[in-house]
Structure 1
Amino acid sequence: MADFLAAAVQITSTSDIEANFSLAEEQIELASRRGAELVGLPENFAFLGNDQQRLDISASLAEQCSQFLVTMARRYQIFLLGGGFPVPAGDGQRTLNRAELVGRDGQLLGRYDKIHLFDVDLPDGNKYRESETIISGKKLPSVINLPGLCKVGISICYDVRFPELYRHLVNEGAELLMIPATFTAFTGKDHWQVLLQSRAIENTAYVVAPAQTGLHYGRRQSHGHAMIIDPWGTVLADAGVQQGSAIAPVDTSRVQSIRNQMPCLKHRKPELF
């Protein structure tokens, strides 16, 4: 059974791609120096700006992001998740929102295109219409085995509100759920931690949730509070609202121990639903 350190990175991304990569590498290096073997970057880690600019640069940015993840994973000898970046969808009008998980040797271990899109009118006056410029992923995420560490399931941000996705991942063997996000400041204050703890508790799995924080552009502001939560629902690390990382130990033997103590997964009655 593995016992290792995981890091959920928290940054404030903008439309300045090079500055975003520099911020990300700074936090990756700091996390690796502290001994983190699994590091997650948040959704939109490489670019957070207006929709038209994202569409215009998506082809080149997708290549930059994939290469950045490979370079960082090799340089710091870590497993690295890029929590979401734009990839051209092929119609010239929309992108996919893709997460990639890379191994220490730079090998792509898995990718996932965000399924659930954030189309919401918030009481604070902000409106979000991801489906206007982003196309939904068509495949459920696969569980990825990180040799020597654990089995990981990937999701992105708004997915956290759809528990059936995480039950699928646990059914496939996930011990740790990664939930990189750009959670809005308005919804985050009431829902972010509650949702993360719920996903951890109901699936008796670790949750590693990298996050965006602060003001990005215009009125776009993120909640922060990147977190690591254990299978009992205990918050092991919280990055607050500053740029940095939440870093905490992951002990996969604790996953099985809690699943033995609270065997909810065995008590399900799927045949009744």
Structure 2
Amino acid sequence: METVRVAALQMRSGMDPARNAADFEALVREAAGKGAVYVQSPEMTGALVRDRAALKVLLKPEADDIIARKAAALAGELGIFVHVGSTAIARPDGKVANRGFVFGPDGAKLATYDKIHMFDVDLDNGESWRESATYEPGTASTVVDVPFGRLGMAVCYDLRFPQLFRAQALEGAHILTVPAAFTRQTGEAHWHVLQRARAIENGAFVIAAAQGGLHEDGRETYGHSLIVDPWGRVLAEADHDEPAVVIADLDMAASAAARAKVPNLKNAREFRVEASGGAAQQRRAS
């Protein structure tokens, strides 16, 4: 294996896709100028728009989406891998996908992933989110081969479902990706520990580009884009919520080394859950 330089872009996407595309381009160029051969942007790179009616006015099909087209052009021009963490895409059936893309150094699309797990939650500060009211969840996990390894694709709330990342690791993914727009409240509580846990339990690198700060639609996101090694160490972080480029060099041999030290992927066993006691008996009786 080899050492590869990667970048996570921290953004503060607003409600204007053209302006967000310009910010995205500037950060991609900065990352490439620093030697990154793989660059990842956050969830909803193209626009953060909470109002569903306003979002639908902005929607384009994949072939016409400004972020997807910009990413393909930049990948081809700069000769790098560009991973759009996600953006909202109009599906042919009239529904909306929260879709990520990976483009190769020739500008060709290598993979897409539609976010599987919808952020339908009510937080104790009064925030309420119903992603399923706008987006159609994906049904398939995605891994993609690149010269320096295999990438597993995910988006934001997927982070809380470890079975997704375990399945990708078992399919040979040595790099797990979690582009996100974590709320400030959940980010302050769980962002670091969940990213490090996914790295540790799978012996994999985790790259997590994040949205950060107060956005035009009123939401506030946590920032703190991270790159974590397979032993759970944070290699690089934006320790704030401002736009930034986070760079790290990944020694790809470290994933195999971590899995050899703690071979939990090999040691896992099938099991069943047996419930006992009064509560379990009551459930069976009802």
2:76 corresponds to 1:74: yes
**Partner of 1:211: helix, strand, or coil?**
coil
- Whether the 8 Å CA contact 2:113–2:153 is kept in 1: the answer is yes
Alignment check: 8 A CA contact 1:89 1:135 kept: no
Q: Which runs of 4+ in 1 moved over 4 A?
A: none
**Structure 1 unaligned regions, length at least 5:** none
Q: What is the aligned partner in structure 2 of residue 117 from structure 1?
A: 118
- TM-score norm. by structure 2 comes to 0.91
Paired position in structure 1 for 2:216: 217
**Letter paired with 1:155:** A
Distance 2:36 2:272 in 1: 42
Residue 257 of structure 1 pairs with residue 243 of structure 2: no
Counterpart residue number, 1:200: 199
Partner Cα separation in structure 1 for residue 91 and residue 272 of structure 2: 38
Deviations 1:183-226 (A, max 9, x none): 00111001111110010000010000000000112430100000
Q: Does 1:150 align with 2:149?
A: yes
Contact 1:9/1:245 (<8 A) preserved: yes
Say yes or no: does 1:188 pair with 2:226. no
User: Aligned-pair distance for 1:96?
Assistant: 0.7
Distance in 2, matches of 1:131 and 1:220, equals 18
Query: The residue matched to 1:248 in structure 2 has which SS?
Result: strand
Q: CA–CA distance in 1 between the matches of 2:105 and 2:217?
A: 37
Q: Which amino acid aligns with 1:160?
A: L
- Residue identity over aligned pairs, in percent, reads 37
Q: Which runs of 5+ in 2 are unaligned?
A: 274-286
Deviations 1:29-84 (A, max 9, x none): 11111111110000111111132222222125752222111011112211010111
Aligned length: 270
Q: Which residue of 2 aligns with 1:239?
A: 238
The answer as to whether partners of 1:112 and 1:155 remain within 8 angstroms in 2 is: yes
Look up the equivalent residue of 1:65 and give its one-letter code: I
Separation in 2, partners of 1:258, 1:215: 38
Greater strand percent: which structure? 1
Distance (Å, rounded) in 2 between the aligned partners of 1:218 and 1:81:
25
Secondary structure in 2 matching 1:158: helix
Query: Which protein has the larger Cα radius of gyration, Structure 1 or Structure 2?
Result: 2
> Aligned AA for 2:84?
G
Indicate the residue corresponding to 2:277 in structure 1: none
On the 8 A contact 1:179/1:207 being kept in 2, the answer is yes
Determine the C-alpha separation between the residues in 2 that align with 1:257 and 1:139. Answer: 29
Aligned to 1:41: 41
Q: Which moved more, 1:157-166 or 1:121-130?
A: 121-130
SS, match of residue 198 in structure 2: helix
**Aligned with 2:67 (options 62, 65, 81):** 65
Q: Does 1:99 align with 2:114?
A: no
Matched residues in 2 for 1:166 and 1:124: separation? 30
